[in-house]
Structure 1
Amino acid sequence: MTYQLISPPCSLDFTALSKQELKKYNDWVIAILPERLEILRSCVNASAGYNSWMADFDPASLAGLGDWFASQVVTRDRTQSEVRAIEARLKFPIDVPNEELTDETVSKAIDVGMYFGMVLLKNHPSLRWDFKTDNKRFADYGQPVIVGFGAAILNPVRIAVTLAYGVVAGTQSGSRLGQVYKFWSEQVGG
């Protein structure tokens, strides 16, 4: 099976987008969710050992999905110009890793994050999708987030991307996805 990369309708430089463009992007994410979840299900089921995985929004499904995703994480070498561009944006000097997630890994992380978010929403009806545009310094400015955890806000795609980097660093495994779900489930209504 050939995995179809997600193709956002705009740049993902959220702070450069107008509030109207951010609304269109967030509407697009909600509209594309069913298609992307089907692409994810097909991709997981096509992988050896995961043909019986079900995208049924049961929290237990996150265990298999997390393990599958961890096996899919791939990096590429950053170019020198990419490293220099990152260094130029830093306020404080740090070592910039020479590796970056591949486009396919990022796309799968977006799909996994969408599914993770939908598991939360299906199991906790008080939660809902939203996007925040009050402060451009907010880490998740303009991005699809889940609200209903009291003051806390969850970006499910960031969870999956962070998991991918943890897998690369050797500090996380696929089981982390279920652990993060459990933590956020306990925050509902907090």
Structure 2
Amino acid sequence: MYEKMIAPFEVVPFELMTKLEARTYLGWFTSEIPKRIEVLRAFYHETTGSSPNDLDLSEKSLGILWRWFIPQITMVPKTAEELEEEISMTPEWLRDEVLKENSKKFSEETSSIIIDIGIYFGTVFINLFSSLDWGVVHTPKNYVYVNRPVIKGFGKVEMNPIAIVYNISLRYLRNRSNERQLIDVFNVWKEYL
């Protein structure tokens, strides 16, 4: 069983956080990064028998990590309550599409690994490029990543590495895209520097 990342305090939805709550969350989040990387490395070792040193925070290790992860991506059906909530927030003309296309979600274990791969992915960037660091954006309030940990230093854009890994995991399931996907995304983001 994969060890989940759990905050030792109640976390309000990011869009409702005050600046102080967002900074507190960011401080806790960044303090957890070394532990999360070790959890990921240990699980990689446990499930492959390979050396955890394969995951050495290098650009090359992103390919190793992604090839290991993609066969483990697991989807589970959403609960009736989850589907009902989604449908209630969807315009009526799109509801059939939601039921057809979005009836599944990542398993808890897959979701936890996605978070840690996102942290790993972001840490690779920060280790390679000294101009980058974790931060938060407080405004505008309707910004999709408001108050969430993001990586700043890419010019006018911020990177949410967890969202990136989540999205490419979905894309992999839909398209069975290539095993270089994480490295390809890494190279796209390098262009912003």
**TM beyond 0.5:** yes
Determine if contact 1:145/1:155 at 8 Å carries over to the other structure.
Answer: yes
Q: Kindly provide the amino acid, as one letter, of the partner of residue 184 in structure 1.
A: W
The 5-angstrom pairing of residues 17-96 of structure 1 reads 17-48=17-48, 50-51=50-51, 54-91=54-91, 93-94=94-95, 95-96=97-98
Bigger shift: residues 64-73 or 11-20? 11-20
Distance 2:12 2:150 in 1: 15
Distance 1:109 1:12 in 2: 21
Bigger shift: residues 110-119 or 171-180? 171-180
- Structure 2 residues not aligned, in runs of 5+: none
Q: Kindly provide the amino acid, as one letter, of the partner of residue 132 in structure 2.
A: L
Q: Kindly provide the amino acid, as one letter, of the partner of residue 55 in structure 1.
A: L
Shift of residue 49 of structure 1? 6.1
Determine if contact 2:44/2:52 at 8 Å carries over to the other structure.
Answer: no
- Structure 1 residues not aligned, in runs of 5+: none
Shift of residue 12 of structure 1? 6.2
Which of the pair is proportionally richer in helix? 2
1:112 matched to 2:111? The reply is: no
Q: Kindly provide the amino acid, as one letter, of the partner of residue 93 in structure 1.
A: L
Q: Taking structure 1 as reference, are residues 114 and 52 closer, same or farther at Cα in structure 2, changes over 3 Å only?
A: closer
1:162 matched to 2:167? The reply is: yes
Name the counterpart of 1:131. Answer: 136
Shift of residue 19 of structure 1? 2.2
Determine if contact 1:126/1:148 at 8 Å carries over to the other structure.
Answer: yes
State the SS of the aligned residue for 1:85.
helix
1:7 matched to 2:12? The reply is: no
State the SS of the aligned residue for 2:59.
coil
1:148 matched to 2:157? The reply is: no
Shift of residue 73 of structure 1? 1.0
What whole-Å deviation, never above 9, does each CA across 1:121-172 have from its counterpart, x for those lacking one? Answer: 1111111111111112111111111111111111000011112212222343
Aligned-pair identity in percent equals 26
What whole-Å deviation, never above 9, does each CA across 1:88-120 have from its counterpart, x for those lacking one? Answer: 223572522110111111111110000000000
Shift of residue 11 of structure 1? 3.4
Bigger shift: residues 168-177 or 54-63? 168-177
State the SS of the aligned residue for 2:153.
strand
Distance 1:110 1:80 in 2: 25
Q: Taking structure 1 as reference, are residues 19 and 74 closer, same or farther at Cα in structure 2, changes over 3 Å only?
A: same
Q: Kindly provide the amino acid, as one letter, of the partner of residue 132 in structure 1.
A: V
User: How many residues align structurally?
Assistant: 187
C-alpha root-mean-square deviation of aligned residues, in Å? 1.8
**TM-score, scaled relative to structure 2:** 0.89
Distance 1:38 1:110 in 2: 13
Bigger shift: residues 51-60 or 69-78? 51-60
State the SS of the aligned residue for 2:140.
coil
